[in-house]
């Protein structure tokens, strides 16, 4: 395994040269944009969005934006929407344990955080021997709050015991409560940060540390007054592996513990995570939209293959997708084409089923451990550059870890976590 491979010097020089050329080209085009207004915009549109895309990333250029936008009805609506979103107040909640963050982290960075560089990161994660990997997030464009905590048992209330069921939850009701607490804790962090800084967010993106994104989160996933969740994997309720909405809808969606007494009063019983999620949104009258979204949840757990009717399909991370939060791992595809049709056709539609049509999904035989060659499979999928990034995260030194967390702490508004030294120690015991 060629870990820590570096791009050759010539590659770097080429890149810089290309960058220079593109920058000067975009400046020329930028200043002539107004005089080009006679030319039909359909031919200019792709260029314009490129120019605006680059201009926007430079803070000094933002003054020029309004004049460009006003004179440019030809910008594709999606690009326009993205510019609006990039100017909005956005929070990204990232919750969960760091287990395989070396394979998910770089994708979250590229496909969400750098896609919306205005977004404030809120990280909420229980500390363990893998938490050192999160120090990679020092590279996030903006960091608002970090809460890394020692997991403790959560007291179970009577209403929680009435409303929730331990069925199908690997760690019983405690498992559900811990997940709910992770999610709701992120809302609390957002509220605290808003109060401290006297503003409110327009958008909240709720996503997971174990999510692997193969294409960017698109602007059409942001719908005012509605809550957007992935389709499929609904387990009798609503897929709760990701969500995006404005502050109002997100406040309902993220109040996973706080709303349980209301569900109790409304007579709900024996809910799993997904049915509880659906109940809390419908009870509070939040309009829902499901859409296919380009991520999967990377899991090390083993699942029967082929899955039974209520079993769990595990997709190959290399699937074209969108996988809408299906469980996945890096594997050589064990089942594709007609095999996928057979397997997915057998699954219960309202349970673990998800969209698989048109070759968007390949399946793994996940009945054993990750295959020995998974790093090779992964690198073939993401390319050398991102592969190298992963191995760097996995193999970082204690000192890099500590420096990473120190920098994160320096950059974040709220740091409610052990110091870097104590977090890193857990990952470097031997």
Ligand X SMILES: *[C@@H]1O[C@H](CO)[C@@H](O)[C@H](O)[C@H]1NC(C)=O
379 binds ligand X (CB under 6 A): no
Work out how close the CB of 303 gets to ligand X at its nearest, in angstroms, rounded to a whole number: 11
> Where in 45-64 is the site for ligand X (CB under 6 A)?
none
Binding range to ligand X, per CB under 6 A, among 54-62, 64-72, 140-148, 352-360? 352-360
Q: Nearest to residue 41, comparing CAs of 78, 80, 76?
A: 76
357 binds ligand X (CB under 6 A): yes
Helix (H, G, I), strand (E, B) or coil at 68: helix
Tally the C-alpha atoms within 13 A of residue 51's C-alpha that lie toward its C-beta. 22
Residue choice 358, 372, 383, 430 for contact with ligand X (CB under 6 A): 358
State which residue, 139 or 365, has the beta carbon closest to ligand X: 365
Work out how close the CB of 367 gets to ligand X at its nearest, in angstroms, rounded to a whole number: 5
Work out how close the CB of 306 gets to ligand X at its nearest, in angstroms, rounded to a whole number: 6
Work out how close the CB of 78 gets to ligand X at its nearest, in angstroms, rounded to a whole number: 19
Give the nearest residue (CB) to ligand X. 368
Torsion of CA 175, 181, 183, 187, to 10 degrees: 180
Work out how close the CB of 191 gets to ligand X at its nearest, in angstroms, rounded to a whole number: 14
Work out how close the CB of 354 gets to ligand X at its nearest, in angstroms, rounded to a whole number: 11
Q: CB of 115 within 8 A of CB of 217?
A: yes
State which residue, 101 or 305, has the beta carbon closest to ligand X: 305
Tokens describing residue 18: 């290309």
246 binds ligand X (CB under 6 A): yes
Number of H helices, E strands in the chain: 15, 12
State which residue, 14 or 304, has the beta carbon closest to ligand X: 304
Residue choice 54, 169, 282, 365 for contact with ligand X (CB under 6 A): 365
285 binds ligand X (CB under 6 A): no
Torsion of CA 189, 195, 197, 203, to 10 degrees: 60
Q: What is the rounded CA–CA span in Å between residue 8 and residue 121?
A: 33
Residue choice 46, 308, 350, 368 for contact with ligand X (CB under 6 A): 368
State which residue, 177 or 254, has the beta carbon closest to ligand X: 254
Q: What is the rounded CA–CA span in Å between residue 350 and residue 193?
A: 38
**Beta-ladder partners of 121:** 92, 143
Residues that contact ligand X, how many (by CB under 6 A): 12
225 binds ligand X (CB under 6 A): yes
Beta strands 90-95 and 120-126, pairing class: parallel
338 binds ligand X (CB under 6 A): no
Torsions phi, psi of 120, nearest 5?
-90, 130
Work out how close the CB of 187 gets to ligand X at its nearest, in angstroms, rounded to a whole number: 15
Q: Nearest to residue 49, comparing CAs of 86, 81, 18, 75?
A: 75
Q: Rounded to the nearest 10 degrees, what angle do helices 374-382 and 384-394 cross at?
A: 130
Residue choice 122, 193, 305, 391 for contact with ligand X (CB under 6 A): 305
Tokens describing residue 145: 């709050």
419 binds ligand X (CB under 6 A): no
Work out how close the CB of 371 gets to ligand X at its nearest, in angstroms, rounded to a whole number: 9
DSSP 312: -
Q: What is the rounded CA–CA span in Å between residue 348 and residue 344?
A: 8
Could you list the residues that contact ligand X (CB under 6 A)?
A: 198, 225, 246, 248, 305, 334, 355, 357-358, 365, 367-368
């Amino acid at each position: 395994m060629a870990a820590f491979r570096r791009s050759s010097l010539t590659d770097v020089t080429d890149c810089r040269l290309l960058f220079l050329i593109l920058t000067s080209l975009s400046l020329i085009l930028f200043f002539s944009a107004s005089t080009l207004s006679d030319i039909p915009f359909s031919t200019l549109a792709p260029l314009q969005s490129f120019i605006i895309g680059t201009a926007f990333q430079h803070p000094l250029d933002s003054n020029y934006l309004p004049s460009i936008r006003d004179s440019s009805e030809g910008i594709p609506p999606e690009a326009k929407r993205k510019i609006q979103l990039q100017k909005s107040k956005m929070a990204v909640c990232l919750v969960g344990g760091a287990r395989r963050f070396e394979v998910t982290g770089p994708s979250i960075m590229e496909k969400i955080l750098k896609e919306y560089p205005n977004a404030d990161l809120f990280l909420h994660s229980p500390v363990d021997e893998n938490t050192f990997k999160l120090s990679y997030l020092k590279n996030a464009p903006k960091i608002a709050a970090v809460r890394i905590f020692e997991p403790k048992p959560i007291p179970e209330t009577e209403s929680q015991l009435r409303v929730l069921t331990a069925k199908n939850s690997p760690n019983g009701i405690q498992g559900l409560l811990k997940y709910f607490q992770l999610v709701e804790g992120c809302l609390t962090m957002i509220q605290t940060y808003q109060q401290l800084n006297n503003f409110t967010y327009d958008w909240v993106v709720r996503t997971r540390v174990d999510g692997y994104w193969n294409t960017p989160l698109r602007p059409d996933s942001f719908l005012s007054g509605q809550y957007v969740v992935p389709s499929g994997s609904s387990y009798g309720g609503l897929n709760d592996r990701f969500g995006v909405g404005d502050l109002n809808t997100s406040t309902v969606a993220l109040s996973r513990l706080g709303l349980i007494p209301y569900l109790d009063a409304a007579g709900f019983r024996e809910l799993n995570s997904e049915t509880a999620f659906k109940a809390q949104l419908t009870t509070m009258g939040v309009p829902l939209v499901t859409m296919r979204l380009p991520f999967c949840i990377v899991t090390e757990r083993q699942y029967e293959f082929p899955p039974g009717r209520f079993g769990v399909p595990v997709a190959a991370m290399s699937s074209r997708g969108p996988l809408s939060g299906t469980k996945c791992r890096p594997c050589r595809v064990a089942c594709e084409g007609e095999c996928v049709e057979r397997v997915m056709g057998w699954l219960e539609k309202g349970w673990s089923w998800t969209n698989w049509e048109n070759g968007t999904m390949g399946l793994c035989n996940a009945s054993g451990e990750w295959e020995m060659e998974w790093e090779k499979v992964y690198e073939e999928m993401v390319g050398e550059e991102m592969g190298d990034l992963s191995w760097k995260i996995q193999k970082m030194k204690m000192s890099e870890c500590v420096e990473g967390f120190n920098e994160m702490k320096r950059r974040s508004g709220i740091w409610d976590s052990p110091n870097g030294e104590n977090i890193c120690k857990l990952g470097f015991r031997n």
